[in-house]
Amino acid sequence: MSEALDRPAVGSAQQHGESNVVPLGRPAAVDPADLDIATLGPCRITSPMAPLLDSRRTTEHYVDEDDRVLLDDTVAGVTSRGVPLDQLPGLEPCGPRRKIYFDPSKTRVGIVTCGGLCPGLNDVIAGLVRTLTYHYGVRRVVGFRNGFQGFISSYGYDVVELTPQSVRDIATDGGTVLGTSRGHQDPDEIVDCLERMHINVLFVIGGDGTMRGAMQIERVIAERGLKIAIVGIPKTIDNDIPYIDQSFGFQTAFSQASESIRAVTVEAKSTANGIGLVKLMGRHSGFIACYAALARSDADVVLIPEVPFTLEGENGLLAHLRRRVEQRGHAVVVAAEGAGQELLTGPDGARDASGNAKLRDIGPYLRERIAEHLADAGVETSLRYIDPSYAIRSVPANPYDSVYTVRLSQAAVHAAMSGRTAMVVGRVRRRFVHIPMAMAVSRRNQVDPHGDLWMAVLESTGQPFRFG
């Protein structure tokens, strides 16, 4: 397999350093070969989906083996550099193939969910089970409990038999019926488990750390010469996966977050010189804070990790808030959890079980500094602080995300049954495509401080481009 898959063990801290963060703006040029999807071998088995494919008329959404979805649709700029259209970087479209690699009657499938909770996890599980069972006739689908721990014998977790009947109603609940966990697990032990259980396909649902772990599992599979497909459904509530339009659960998350902004705005307006402060998810990417603030248009200030800010001075955040309170009688601040980390002191280098850098808590710090500043200025205030993060993570998916997760799960099954591996499914400019795992974790999607989204936030809030 590719050298890109040769990484440390599953979930190790080395995998989660900041080296994958690249400067914001237009990504570097991509070699078309980097977009090739690995396969287990030629497809010789007629797919159960073939009659459905044969009945379709050719449209712009027709999927043929040679079709590609352009990675960069700025065609004029690319061709001006002398690159022929047929050599532009393109992604494989998702969809059923007429010939598949695995014999459905003899295929055994595993599903695992890892990392933090996100709206739509149960929808993905249910969608995978239904597509495997109803459309391909796969007879055994099992779920591994509590993330990658579920493969390790020392934990003693049993597996869950998954059928269309057992997953029928799980989408009405938040969380994941399989449970989840973070942290390092030995990829060799995981592959040992897959071999013992004769698993042919493993669907991995999780974020960038999980996908790096899946790449390590795939590396061991390749070293042993096994024919096991590893297909990922990327999950991140922060919407920080590169290249894809949006991650599942994001729409639900910012919709719920906007309700917290509404609540804190009511509180702020109900008292003289009231201040409302909401801390939302967003370790390194401020998409939830931006979208939630735009959805409500009540925020006076939005703080995100991508835009550093200064507290002190006439051009600082504190003076700006004081002026807003004096002008309007109240003010509302929305802060992503990763904002302002450069202002906080504490031990550096601390990491959680997944190897992610531990953030210092910006919410209480801002609450204290804002209250102190207004008191020193002789402004009597009432400050309300809300951190709805865990409440947002645990809700069921809204209708938009429910549809999105079903389509992602269908796309993942089609890819896996055709023998594709070491890849994830996602949507790029409204087309569902196959993306190599190495590419999906190559960098982090972030809000561009010079882009149209941040400009829309600045127009909505009236805040300056930068404080200080």
Positions marked active-site: 238
CA distance 177 to 174: 9
The answer to whether residues 15 and 355 touch, using CB atoms and an 8 Å cutoff, is yes
Tokens of 332: 């509302």
Cα dihedral sign for 160, 165, 167, 169?
negative
Residue 353: name the closest of 191, 113, 193, 147 by CA: 147
For 114, list phi and psi in degrees, rounded to 5. -135, 160
For the CA atoms of the chain, what is the radius of gyration?
Answer: 24
- Pair 290, 457: CB distance under 8 Å: yes
Query: Could you give the CA distance from residue 40 to residue 228 in angstroms, rounded to a whole number?
Result: 8
Residues in the chain, total: 468
Q: Which two tokens stand for residue 230?
A: 């590893």
Cβ neighbours of residue 393 closer than 8 Å, sequence gap 6 or more: 116, 117, 118, 119, 174, 237, 253, 281
Which is it for strands 431-436 and 423-428: parallel, antiparallel or unpaired? Answer: antiparallel
Whether 217 contacts 190, CB under 8 Å: yes
Alpha helices in 270-361 (DSSP H): 287-296, 317-328
